[in-house]
Amino acid sequence: MEKLGTTQEGAKSSSARVSARLAVAIALFGAATPRVAWSQSAVIETVEPAMRGGAASPGSSESRLGTPPGTDPMLLGSQPGGDAPLMGRVGTAGSRAPASISRPMEGRTPPPRGIAAPEALPVPRAPLYGSLALPTEGESEGPPDGMTIDQAIDRLIQENLDLRSKSLEIPQARADVLTASLRANPILYADSQLIPYGRWSEQRPGGPVQYDVNISHPVDFSHKRQARTEYASRALRVTEAQYQDAVRIEINNLYTAYLDILSARQTSRYAKASAEGLAKLIRATQMLYEKDRASRADVNQIKAQQQIAAVGMVDADENLKRAKRALGLMLNIDPEQAEAMEFQGTIEDRSPPPPPVDSLVEMACANRPDVVSYRLGLQAAEAGLRLAMANRYQDAYVLYQPYTFQDNSPFGKKSGTAWALGVTVPLPVYNRNQGNIERARINIQQSKIELANIERRVRNEVVQAAREYVVTAQIVEKIRTSILPASEQAKDDRFTLFQTGDEQQTVVSYLEAQRIYNDNVKAYLDTAVRHRRSMLNLNTVVGQRLLP
């Protein structure tokens, strides 16, 4: 009994020492650990605003292509590799599930990419410096080996640096599809527990030391991966349509630059024709002066007009070179090489009229990439709702522990092995992604409104472009068939009377007739260029090449 009492007393003393050590350890841990208040809190995801208009910072990973319609960067959920294991108590009872399993939608993938269309180039007015006159020969389309507008479009698509940069957003969007389709990685866990400070023995029982190896594998029972992949695939199609729209706008900019060249070339021809007419007038005035039928002032006044025409020719030639350099910049051609290039084309309308307005509107709504992108954006918004519904539940985790080793050697017994199987399932009690589901539903309604708005705007643009085509064609025809012939006839009649020495027909009266004629020629050139632009603009607003 005395021995037994001694043993019990020793056990109590040992237990007291262990409790004291445990209390000290807890106190030290509590002093070193910040105090935490546990409570239920809302999970708020911070989303960086998408860069619009391609205004991304140099070297950044932000999209150069804007925000695609119908997409929402908050819809994509946690991605593979983004979960941190929740290390509970050691042993088979410790959860190996990620910490985010109790908080749906904690992470997100990068927002879907989009393409912002380039800004349209301003339409310049035809230069009015110097005098102009209609050439006797018709307008030439340029040298046979000159670059055509079709060749310019092909080179634009292949070599334009802005389009080449934006085209790389498409493979990046494909990479986003790949990222969205990746499965979550399993978690390998190994531990050793019940390791003594010293050694277990009969006098100091405990343990035995245990070694565990287990694997936790996620189970996507709500099909989030499929929903993510579908959503990213829809966003890819929107990005492709947006790139096509960027090409459409860039081709419209090419139309502007190409027509600037044709207009400048035609202005140069008109200026040379005016200079030749003034040279003819100088010869006639000089003959009258030699016959004492004109004064020296008349001759000098005509020479001054000739100098103005010469300056106008220089200005027209420089405008032509400037227009070539502008187009060369779009086609990625050096300025010196661009100035030496020749181009084929005419500002005259030699094509049949386009289809009726109703047919043009129907073609625009079916073919224009910006309308298509919004239509695809609506489908992306619907896929986003399905993704938000799938994200209501996080993955379940199945745990398989194929090996557990208990070391019984300190007790002189045979060691044992075992295995374990478990499952961790999140309970959607509080957070079922309600906010993002509601957001996705609103996004669908917003996408429908945006689609209706873009369709209405396209209809209005087509109607305006068609009216511009008709009105400018009528004005060009009126100036060419009525105004210019009458003005030219009046100028020629005054010149004939001036040559015959009619005292009532002075140089001043002839120059006034010449000025009126020049104004009419400038009006004709401006209107012809305007009509040619209306033809190309009709191609742009319809989204289809209808007129050459």
For the stretch 380-395, pLDDT in tens is 999 999 999 999 999 9
* Tens-place pLDDT, residues 433-444: 999 999 999 999
Q: Which pLDDT value is given to residue 74?
A: 53
In this structure, the answer to whether residues 2 and 103 fall within a common structural domain is no
Mean pLDDT of 417-429: 92
Model pLDDT for residues 303-356, shown as the tens digit of each residue:
888 888 888 888 888 989 999 999 999 999 999 999 999 999 888 888 899 999
Residues 375 and 289 in one domain: yes
Residue 6 has what pLDDT?
41
Which among 135, 452, 114, 93 has a CA at the least distance from the CA of 277?
Answer: 135
Question: For the chain, what is the mean pLDDT?
Answer: 79
Verify that 156 and 108 share a domain, yes or no. yes
Looking at the structure, do residues 352 and 451 belong to the same domain, yes or no? yes
The pLDDT of 129-152, averaged and rounded, is: 74
Measured distance CA(530)–CA(184) in Å, rounded: 60
Total domain count, the chain: 2
pLDDT at residue 499, rounded to an integer: 73
Check whether residue 433 and residue 503 sit in a common domain. yes
CATH number for the domain harbouring residue 508: 1.20.1600.10
* Better pLDDT: 203 or 449: 449
Domain membership of residue 54 (yes or no) is no
Nearest to 269 by CA among 366, 135, 143: 135
Look at residues 279, 292, 228 and name the one whose alpha carbon lies nearest to residue 71: 228
C-alpha–C-alpha distance, residues 419 and 541, integer Å: 70
Angle between helices 434-478 and 357-367 (to 10 degrees): 140
- More confident position, 308 or 475: 475
The model carries a pTM of: 0.74
Q: Supply the pLDDT for residue 513.
A: 81
> 371 pLDDT exceeds 80?
yes
Helices (H) and strands (E) in the chain, counts: 12, 4
Helix-strand-coil percent breakdown of the chain, rounded to 5? 55, 10, 35
Residues 485 and 388 in one domain: yes
- Residue pair 263/347 in contact (Cβ under 8 Å)? The answer is yes
SS (H, E, C) 245-296: HHHHHHHHHHHHHHHHHHHHHHHHHHHHHHHHHHHHHHHHHHHHHHCCCCCH
Which residue in this structure is represented by tokens 């009872």? 93
Q: Answer yes or no: is 411 within a domain.
A: no
Average confidence (pLDDT) over 143-166: 93
Tell whether 195 is covered by a domain. no
pLDDT of residue 185: 93
Q: Are residues 9 and 73 in the same domain?
A: no
How many angstroms separate the CA atoms of 493 and 487, rounded?
A: 10
Q: Please report whether residue 359 resides in a domain.
A: yes
Report if residue 208 sits inside a domain. no
Higher pLDDT, 143 or 358: 358
Q: Are strands 416-424 and 209-219 parallel, antiparallel or unpaired?
A: unpaired
Claim to verify: residue 327 and residue 384 sit in the same structural domain:
yes
**Number of other CB atoms surrounding residue 518 within 10 Å:** 21
Q: Is residue 229 assigned to a domain? A: yes
Is there a single domain that holds both residue 4 and residue 127?
no
Give yes or no: residues 6 and 106 share one domain. no
- Please tell me whether residues 15 and 71 are part of one structural domain: no
Domain assignment present for 190? no
3-state SS, residue 545: coil
Minimum mean pLDDT among 64-68, 73-77, 102-106, 277-281: which range? Answer: 102-106
Instruction: Tell me, yes or no, whether 359 and 472 share the same domain.
Output: yes
Peptide bond into 186 cis (omega under 30): no
- Domain membership of residue 401 (yes or no) is no
Domain housing 113: 64-135+146-184+220-393+428-542
- Local confidence band at 90 (pLDDT 50, 70, 90 cut-offs): very low
